[in-house]
Amino acid sequence: MVMAMIRLISFDVWNTLLDINVMIENLVKALSELLEVSEKDIMERTLKTREEIKKIRKSRSGDPEKALEESQELLARALGVDIEIVKRATAKATLSVDERIVLPEVRETLKKLHGRYIITTTGNVMFWPSAYTRLILEKFGLAEYITKQFYSDEIKAYKPMKDAFLAPLRYFNVSPEEAIHIGDTKAEDFEGALNTGMYACWINSNVKKIERIHERGFMVKSTTDILKILQEI
């Protein structure tokens, strides 16, 4: 097997760099306050809507041009409210996040990679716009280690579509075999990156050690394992 020279590392954001559970909890709390409805009921509807959106994207039946609007509309419909309530709640949730949202060892990992590789994010959006994700990455000092951020509401393509993965490669003139993507979703992140010709890491907290499960694919326990993977390829 020909050894690859990795130039670009692409990170998924939610459940890779930032904890989606913290953001969802904040969103549910904000919706509960705005609607004066129990958090339990809202949490159930929010999680159900989230799964529905993931299925839509996996089957690629959603409109990439309206990925954000579609998800906001689906949540508003599930809650029986105007979309404005969803927009307000996502803003309130973003304003109230604390440092718990940064996953363990993420900052240290990004620091070690900074300056040695082109570091990008390749992220889908759901419920809140990428601008809010950018604010969180800035607030907790992660953005300074990222060369450029790419999000589905900006590039009009969502994972697992090839165009979502190709956007950073085209921007930096990097070939797929010179890039690796790491994320927590098998269909969106792992299979999407492999289908584009990139190397891929699937974060699966159930694994004990790094496993090579494809010629260009690895299963890892956490984001920090990318440091060992880079030595291996």
CATH number at residue 69: 1.10.150.400
Q: Which amino acid is at 66?
A: K
pLDDT tens-digit profile of 83-106?
999 999 999 999 999 999 999 999
Please provide the average confidence, as pLDDT, over all residues in the chain.
Answer: 95
> What would you measure as the largest C-alpha separation in the chain, in angstroms?
59
3-class secondary-structure state, position 218: strand
Give me the mean pLDDT over the 196-225 stretch: 96
Residue 11 has pLDDT above 60, yes or no: yes
Residue 2 has pLDDT above 60, yes or no: no
131: containing domain: 8-19+102-232
List C-alpha distances in Å: 119 to 6, 103, 149, 202.
Answer: 11, 17, 9, 17
Is the domain of 130 the same as that of 197? Answer: yes
Q: Choose one of 96, 112, 127: the last residue of a domain.
A: 96
Residue 1 has pLDDT above 50, yes or no: no
CB 114 within 8 A of CB 106: no
- Residue 60's pLDDT band (boundaries 50, 70, 90)? confident
Residue 4 has pLDDT above 80, yes or no: no
Is the domain of 106 the same as that of 219? Answer: yes
Is the domain of 69 the same as that of 124? Answer: no
Give me the mean pLDDT over the 189-218 stretch: 96
* Residue 185 domain flag: yes
Is the domain of 128 the same as that of 216? Answer: yes
- Residue 59's pLDDT band (boundaries 50, 70, 90)? confident
Q: Choose one of 78, 96, 114: the last residue of a domain.
A: 96
